[in-house]
Structure 1
């Protein structure tokens, strides 16, 4: 039953998407995939081995980005960010997180169906469906992937529920400049069997030194969310899933993140993270 669902899903996206050349004009969509139906974190070593990269596990100061300056460009100056925000992205492994979740009553049934039939089984994009799912917090592991020169090219961020160890997100994080863009975006990839979900988030700095990351509406090739299927000839489709993350320091000096996912114009789920540097 599960394999039938997976094949149907890939067939749907092949019909909904367009052919892409991942080695040519559409190389901005080249990103990790999983070789197996269950994603977990096994894709990290496979991807590194195929590209001749090395995997640096367990580094206590590992970050999603080696430096926030990688995002600098017209309209974004990382020097304006609050120091705690820079520290979180550059030393993510050193931070603990508590999480709260709230689903839209309208979209909760659809989310629960997807979680039961797909997300929990493949151990990917398994959003918490109930507030108590994350009552004990969330653990995270950051694995840095380096090229032959030792430079960080990506970071794998795997998040699991502390209560039962179940995978929630398993993604690759880096920066990437989209075609025609004047500066880089944050690029998050969530591998799936012979494909992936990719989100390009445009960064901006708020007046109080906070960070906003947005995947807006737009056309193919712009910031937003994409599904890529690499079964036979590669195809990609832009999907109406939009994210907004607001990372900020509150009036008590606590680092927090408000995270909203919308399906079209409908708010689907809101997540709130309280972030604290481990002692």
Structure 2
């Protein structure tokens, strides 16, 4: 008798957690490795199911009033070598008032890696409604909708923000991320921290900010050691384990000659460029 589909997908998901447990190291999210503590999910379908639980864990609440930003204040990233004052005011408004912006997206995959991206998107991303990176240009032809939900702590202060991005045509989730500012061990200034909850785990990215000439902003998750900026996978599988992932991203935000805010996003797998995305961001 054939194994039911739900059982096969559950086995596939657990197999991926076992793989990352094998590649990773034990971590203590309540102690030494608290910098990796981030929302996880209890079920296989993620979407926005983790958001209310993340607020409840803080003794707080969520707030979605159309005025939320990924960061309460871009100046929270200030430190040696970076000052939010040097960033174009339009870019600051985007990060601090993200709900007020409309997004158009273009994607171009490396032909060698596109089949693998298609498999991952179908086998995991679309099914679990998380990290379903578009693999064909027409996937995003009708645009992408963006919703920001602020996650408030018990004092009513913004602890993080959930940025939920869905395909306008189908309503499928592309990204469901938790955005905040976080300092890494031994770092001289904070990084942008993004966590993508998954069942019994998450994918996390620490992005180091840099001001560009002309008021632009660059965010980079570069190769490095455990505990430095970059991408991590955290899983709960017979204990909690974390591993650096060979994924590196660069975001460059800038205002063009026609006063339009744009972003160039490059995602690399090791040394190979996997996909390039371009975002046109306009105030609603």
Decide: shared fold, TM above 0.5: yes
Aligned to 2:3: none
Say if 2:139 is the partner of 1:133.
yes
Q: Which residue of 18, 28, 46 maps to 1:21?
A: 28
1:223-238 matched pairs, under 5 angstroms: 223-238=229-244
1:73-108 Cα shifts (integer Å, max 9, x gaps):
001000000010000000000000100000000100
Structure 2 distance, partners of 1:50, 1:36, is: 17
Structure 1 distance, partners of 2:71, 2:58, is: 19
1:141-161 Cα shifts (integer Å, max 9, x gaps):
100011111110000000000
Aligned to 2:164: 158
Structure 1 distance, partners of 2:161, 2:238, is: 28
Say if 2:128 is the partner of 1:122.
yes
Structure 2 distance, partners of 1:220, 1:97, is: 33
1:241-275 Cα shifts (integer Å, max 9, x gaps):
00000000011111000001000000000000000
Unaligned runs of 5+ in 2: 1-7
TM-score between the two structures when normalised by the length of structure 2: 0.97
Q: Is the 8 A contact 2:251 2:265 kept in 1?
A: yes
Aligned to 1:249: 255
Cα deviation, residue 206, structure 1: 0.3
Q: Is the 8 A contact 2:60 2:155 kept in 1?
A: no
Unaligned runs of 5+ in 1: none
Q: Which moved more, 1:107-116 or 1:195-204?
A: 107-116
Aligned to 2:94: 88
Say if 2:9 is the partner of 1:2.
yes
Aligned to 2:118: 112
Q: Is the 8 A contact 2:163 2:178 kept in 1?
A: yes
Aligned to 2:214: 208
Cα deviation, residue 233, structure 1: 1.2
Aligned to 1:145: 151
**Secondary structure at the residue paired with 2:15?**
helix
Q: Is the 8 A contact 2:54 2:151 kept in 1?
A: no
Structure 2 distance, partners of 1:129, 1:232, is: 34
Structure 2 distance, partners of 1:46, 1:80, is: 36
How many residues end up aligned between the 2 structures?
A: 277
Aligned to 1:67: 73
Structure 2 distance, partners of 1:46, 1:23, is: 18
Structure 2 distance, partners of 1:35, 1:231, is: 13
